[in-house]
Amino acid sequence: MKLFLDTADINEISELNQTGLVDGITTNPSLIAKSGRNIIEAIEEICGIISGPISAEVTATDYHGMMDEGKRLAEIASNVTVKLPLTSDGLKACASLRSQNILVNVTLCFSTAQALLAAKAGASFISPFVGRLDDIGSVGMNLISEIAEVYSNYNYSTEILVASVRSVQHVVDAALVGADVATIPPKIMLQMYKHPLTDKGLADFLADWKSTGQSIL
């Protein structure tokens, strides 16, 4: 499963990219606003750091506006993935942009029916929001399982990009049900490294090594 970072913070992206584990980036208007950056400049800089897909979201809500903004965002770099909302106009724009070989991430998906429409519109990625479904008492990961089954039934090429990830367990569950991608906040990626037994084991090994008085160099 690929791991994307859900952030527009250049410093976080640069630092975590050094791990070699970052496969792409997702942004949205809220993350861009939080960064305080101009959206075009921010996406351009991110594309210079990460070679994988970089999702940049339109702000227009009508078809023609989405098309104009989508084309402008796609001009920034070849790895820009235009992010569109899962609405009637959004799916119409998705089909049009895909016909021009522009990558599209259809976002704000909350049902299997919506995901089916996005796949039929040719979406490169579908972004179901598991955390927000959990917030209202649903089990967000059940949606991922259903989408994975439907896509498998018909060999859709749309990749399932699990969004609104709130915990390391969300990442693990996404991998267990066969999601293609999980987009995660930087803090969640850092938490994935951690386990108390790892820390304890390392401390024990180092104490034993110190007691020998030896040095490898």
Which are the catalytic amino acids?
Answer: 83
Of 29, 33, 35, 50, residue with least CA distance to 107: 29
From CA 27, how far away is CA 29, in angstroms rounded?
Answer: 7
Residue 129 phi/psi, 5-degree rounding, is -100, 95
Asked if 87 and 63 touch (Cβ cutoff 8 Å), the reply is: no
The one-letter code for the residue type at 169 is Q
Query: Per the structure block, which two tokens stand in for 153?
Result: 């039934």
Residue spans of beta strands (DSSP E) within the chain: 2-6, 24-26, 54-57, 80-85, 104-109, 125-128, 159-162, 181-184
3-state secondary structure at position 122: coil
Asked if 174 and 182 touch (Cβ cutoff 8 Å), the reply is: yes
